[in-house]
Amino acid sequence: MTIVTKPGLRPANPNFSSGPCAKRPGWSVETLKNAALGRSHRAKIGKTKLEQAIALTREILQVPADYRIGIVPASDTGAVEMALWSLLGERGVDMVAWESFGTGWITDVVKQLRLEDVRRFEAPYGELPDLAKVDFDRDVVFTWNGTTSGVRVANGDFIPADRKGLTICDATSAAFAQRLDFQKLDVVTFSWQKALGGEGAHGMLILSPRAVERLETYKPAWPLPKIFRLTSGGKLIEGIFKGETINTPSMLCVEDYLDALNWAKALGGLDALIARADANFAAIDTFVNRSGWLGHLAIAPETRSNTSVCLSIVDPEVASLDKDGQAAFAKGIASALDNEGVAFDIGHYRDAPPGLRIWAGATVETADLVALMPWLDWAFANQKAALKAAA
């Protein structure tokens, strides 16, 4: 296969980063003109906007009315850490991981919290662990969508409704693009800079009534820094879930999140967002199936993410290279597309197998992905020619 001529069509928006992700179509800085800048987040205007962000999050994600939603510091990482440090230790915990972020949560629980009754269920990139072996009478920590592997759980059917433990779910690259089964989830976390293309440093923490009960009846054996504290005097700090944030949020970022939420609502809500992400994945999948040199890192089709689409280079000559050679080849493709201004930030995650990672969430236009696909062929052909020339 040899492609010398550059494709004629270019993506209108070349931003395919898996985080921070592309802004919504039509976004401009003008959408932030009504931000409550220079005002206290505790003033009526600031608190009202924070309350609106929580209310719209509930509406679009279809979060049950009796679940609490809070805006917390430090992005999705902060939200997950708050849950781990505040809730774990009451009983044994099963840690489930199949990519770098899930593995990171295992490290925190084992090496930082130093819990002793921990079971690990791990799978290599591209696969899911055997979820049937997980014991939901224990607490369970897992990611819904593996951002760095492109592997997701298909649904929440593997979680029993009558579980005794809590389920703590990192859903940062799943929320707003995949249907989360909240009745099976006790803690859900995500960040603004993922599926709706918001700005960074702010996380969302969603708690079921069972999680709130644990918070109010269990006190961890370790001290909690102020930034992690969700209770006071044995009672939930309700203000956190009514717009009274633990620390000072950026009202500019809040305005941006509100803009994204209102765009999602006008679009048709969660169903429309999922449909857009599914259409985007389909555009990539169609190309992969006919390319001959690309494959999905996620082995089972039902586990393939519709947001963080991770691809492997399966061309026999490239696949025969050692890992460093494969990584250099993939980096060459990503760099060539970056230099052409047709695709930014699509290299594989640093801990993941060599390949490409293309964000396909709802803020990406399908037409841009369709336009990008011939450029992948072009970049591959040039890298392959360079590889042969160097041999």
Q: Clarify whether residues 96 and 228 are in a common domain.
A: yes
- At residue 330 the predicted structure's pLDDT band, cuts being 50, 70 and 90, is very high
Question: Is 360 part of any domain?
Answer: yes
Question: Is 329 part of any domain?
Answer: yes
> Using CA atoms, how far apart are residues 95 and 194, in angstroms rounded to an integer?
23
Q: What is the pLDDT of residues 108-154, one digit of tens each?
A: 999 999 999 999 999 999 999 999 999 999 999 999 999 999 999 99
Q: Clarify whether residues 132 and 275 are in a common domain.
A: no
Mean pLDDT of 304-317: 98
> Using CA atoms, how far apart are residues 202 and 44, in angstroms rounded to an integer?
20
Q: Which domain holds residue 127?
A: 29-267
pLDDT the model gives residue 1: 45
Question: Is 9 part of any domain?
Answer: no
Question: Is 92 part of any domain?
Answer: yes
CATH label of the domain that carries residue 330: 3.90.1150.10
Q: What is the pLDDT of residues 129-139, one digit of tens each?
A: 999 999 999 99
Q: Clarify whether residues 173 and 283 are in a common domain.
A: no
Q: Clarify whether residues 286 and 141 are in a common domain.
A: no
Question: Is 198 part of any domain?
Answer: yes
pLDDT over 80 at 173, yes or no: yes
Domains held by the chain: number: 2
Q: Clarify whether residues 297 and 263 are in a common domain.
A: no
pLDDT the model gives residue 12: 98
Last residue of a domain, one of 267, 291, 316: 267
Question: Is 287 part of any domain?
Answer: yes
Q: What is the pLDDT of residues 230-242, one digit of tens each?
A: 999 999 999 999 9
Q: Clarify whether residues 51 and 144 are in a common domain.
A: yes
Q: Clarify whether residues 155 and 192 are in a common domain.
A: yes
- At residue 391 the predicted structure's pLDDT band, cuts being 50, 70 and 90, is confident
**Residue 144 identity (one-letter amino acid):** W
Last residue of a domain, one of 200, 235, 267: 267
pLDDT over 80 at 107, yes or no: yes
Q: Clarify whether residues 329 and 246 are in a common domain.
A: no
Mean pLDDT of 173-194: 98
Mean pLDDT of 49-69: 98
Question: Is 22 part of any domain?
Answer: no
Question: What does the block give as tokens for 49?
Answer: 């906007």
Last residue of a domain, one of 246, 267, 288: 267
